[in-house]
Amino acid sequence: MLSFEPTFHKSNFAEFIVVAKDVKARNELAQKAEQLLNTEFTSVQGHVKVLFGGPSADYAVMLRVKGPDHERVREIAEQIRTIMTAHPATQNVNLNWSEKSKVMHLEIDQAKARALGISSQQLSASLQAQLSGATIAEFRERDKTVSMVFRFAEQDRNNPERIKDLNIHIGNGKYVPLDQIATIRYDAEEGLIYRRDLLPMIIVQAELNPASGLTGTDVTTQVYDSLQELSSSLPAGYRIEFDGATENSIKSGKFLAEPIPAVMLIIMILLMMQLQNIPKMLLTLLTAPLGIIGVSVSLLLTGSPMGFVVQLGILALSGIIMRNSVILADQIEQHLAAGDSLWDAIVNSTISRFRPIMLTAAAAILAMIPLVFSVFWGPMAVAIGGGLLGATLLTLLVLPVMYATWYKAQPDTGAKNILLNDDGKPINQ
């Protein structure tokens, strides 16, 4: 399912969702839309976003700043925008706050208003009726009630220069111009203020330059690191934080890391129940990180990003690797019980278990192929497939070597093993 978050309604904002026939057509549409915005609508702040599965983020690079005063927050955000724009991997850097809206403030001269016998409430009601309209009567048309609204003509109420000449009724059939009892002041203020934790918050966001070869998380982290000097100089109460996909990735990592100590304890208990030997348990645990080698190579070759689903794949991969190690260790014990020397048991177990373990790994790798083409699950499939292939081969090499090293196994030289008693004399076989 594609994730899409609607934007707050704004009079100066439009949003289109275009559905393409296939992935190729979608990418072509995105490029054409990008070119159209850059050539035909240069004064418009446009953004083309391809919808993917998983958590939604408006831009690839997103940082937020929050603090008590919205004016100071905007100043800090502008400094961040300057630093982010200087990064070679970013483009179309902007703020999620729009430009300030033009507003008109009416400052009433209370002394003159009282002298004319008009209150602020009466003045407000008079202006409301003339500019926005007031219902003066209603009539029924069949089953509907239609209101009759009085207000000035559009050319009078929408012209700021003519508002000062509006006549205000002061009673007894008398009127005075608005500018006689009030002063009109023009200003600019924020039309919409986003808040987080009850504090004004601005997001500085940017698109990723495709030619950079970097991920959004990489660029966001680099920009954040370059803001350390600015962060240290911020007044109390102001903070610069991650946002968007990077923040989601950090939260996901913490979510996965919290239960790991308890899970590791359970795994160690289960391994001890099966192997009943601390060194063997530790040797099995040491094979778990071998999958990272295959994961790194496969992600590098395919250009897949290291995200949340890849972390899930690595955790699942660790269990598969340790299972293979337990099978191999158990096979070694079976050969020892059959009377083989330690060296022969290690070699014969590796040879006898090579084909079953490789066939099992191949079946799991082939099962990942349909997921490789998925936009969301593709990186996880690549990580599990590549990691399982590399880890299986390494396990069949590394575990026997560690086993032989720890237990000091030596290859048979053809000499007969002689058992000695406590006096150092040979025991008759």
Instruction: Judge if 309 and 374 occupy the same domain.
Output: yes
Domain extent at residue 135? 101-189
- The tokens describing 122, both together, are 């009466």
What's the confidence (pLDDT) of residue 52? Answer: 63
The single-letter DSSP state of residue 35 is: H
Q: Which residues contact 391 (CB under 8 A, 6 or more apart)?
A: 287, 290, 291, 293, 294, 317, 320, 321
- Other C-beta atoms closer than 10 Å to the C-beta of 404 total 17
Boundary-marking domain end, from 170, 189, 208: 189
372 with 288, same domain: the answer is yes
Same domain, 109 and 96: no
Does one domain contain both 282 and 400? yes
Is residue 119 a part of any domain in this protein? Answer: yes
Q: List beta partners, residue 241.
A: 64
Two structure tokens written together for 252: 């996901």
Tell me, yes or no, whether 161 lies in a domain: yes
Residue 426 in any domain: the answer is: no
What is the distance between the alpha carbons of residues 99 and 208, in angstroms, rounded to a whole number?
A: 23
Pair type for strands 239-242 and 61-66: antiparallel
Q: What CATH code is carried by the domain that includes residue 183?
A: 3.30.2090.10
Q: What is the largest CA-CA distance in the chain?
A: 137
Residue 15 inside a domain? The answer is yes
Same domain for 211 and 137, yes or no, is: no
Check whether residue 144 and residue 185 sit in a common domain: yes
Sequence letter at residue 180? Q
What is the SS3 assignment for 292? helix
In a domain, 413, yes or no: no
Residues 370 and 271 both lie in one domain: yes
Q: How many domains does the chain have?
A: 4
Residue 242: inside a domain, yes or no?
Answer: yes
Q: Is residue 411 part of a domain?
A: no
Q: Same domain, yes or no, for 155 and 245?
A: no
DSSP string, 22-88: SHHHHHHHHHHHHHHHHHT-TTS--------BSS--S-SEEEEEE-S-HHHHHHHHHHHHHHHHTST
pTM (two decimals) = 0.65
Residue-level pLDDT, tens digit, the chain, 429 residues: 456 666 666 677 777 888 888 878 888 888 888 888 878 887 777 778 776 655 567 788 999 999 999 999 999 999 999 999 999 999 888 888 877 888 888 888 888 888 888 888 888 888 888 888 888 888 888 788 888 888 877 777 778 778 888 888 887 778 888 888 888 888 888 878 889 989 999 999 998 887 777 888 889 999 999 999 999 999 899 999 999 888 888 887 788 788 888 988 999 999 898 888 888 899 889 888 888 898 999 988 887 777 778 888 888 888 888 988 998 888 988 888 888 888 888 898 899 889 988 998 899 899 888 888 877 788 889 999 999 998 888 888 888 999 888 888 888 665 444 444 455 555 444
CA gap 113, 126 in Å, rounded: 14
Residues 274 and 324 both lie in one domain: yes
- Tell me, yes or no, whether 2 and 28 share the same domain: yes
Q: What is the pLDDT of residue 76?
A: 94
- Two structure tokens written together for 414: 């053809």
174, 73: one domain: no
CB-based burial label for 361 (10 Å; 0-12, 13-18, 19+): buried
Residue 361 located in a structural domain = yes
What is the DSSP-derived secondary structure letter of residue 130? I
Q: Do 311 and 394 have their domain in common?
A: yes
Please report, for the domain that includes residue 95, its CATH number. 3.30.70.1440
> Which value, to the nearest 10 degrees, does the dihedral of the CA atoms of residues 368, 374, 375, 379 take?
0
Instruction: Write down the pLDDT at residue 422.
Output: 52
Q: What confidence score (pLDDT) does residue 130 get?
A: 82
pLDDT value of position 427: 46
Cα–Cα distance list, 330 to 12, 218, 276, 326, 338 (Å): 69, 43, 11, 6, 13
Q: List alpha helices for 149-259, DSSP H.
A: 154-157, 160-163, 216-226, 228-232, 244-257
**What is the CATH number for 359?**
1.20.1640.10
**pLDDT (0 to 100) of residue 53:** 58
- Tell me which of 148, 174, 189 is where a domain ends: 189
